[in-house]
Amino acid sequence: MKNAFRTDLLDDLYVERRLRLEQDRQGLLTKTIQWLDEFGDRHGINKVYIFGSVTKPQRFHEQSDVDVAVEEIQPDDLFAVIGFLSERSPEMWT
């Protein structure tokens, strides 16, 4: 093809980015599960559903968050857990 340009550098950058995002996704999912295992019982959390892009390879991106649905939680702990996660999120998830 005449006047074609090479895309191998861009291709390599794309692959590196996808690999990094997949590592980030897996790490975030692992940390979320670890937190739930460690603190869930303390707050009466018996059943949790994790969903969204963090559960789907190739869908996770830099602005992705963790979507969690809790089936049961001690009512008095609901806002405390939300506040704890919101305040600790940057340090906990990185």
pTM of the model: 0.76
Contacts of 65 (CB under 8 A, 6+ apart): 52, 54
pLDDT at 84 over 90: no
Tokens at 42, concatenated? 């303390």
Confidence of residue 14 (pLDDT cuts 50, 70, 90): very high
pLDDT single digits (tens) 20-71? 999 999 998 998 899 889 888 888 888 889 999 999 989 999 888 888 888 8
**Residue in the structure block whose two tokens are 């506040």:** 83
Angle at 33 between CA 32 and CA 39, to 5 degrees: 90
**What are the extents of the domains in the chain?**
29-93
pLDDT of residue 44: 84
pLDDT single digits (tens) 71-80? 888 888 888 8
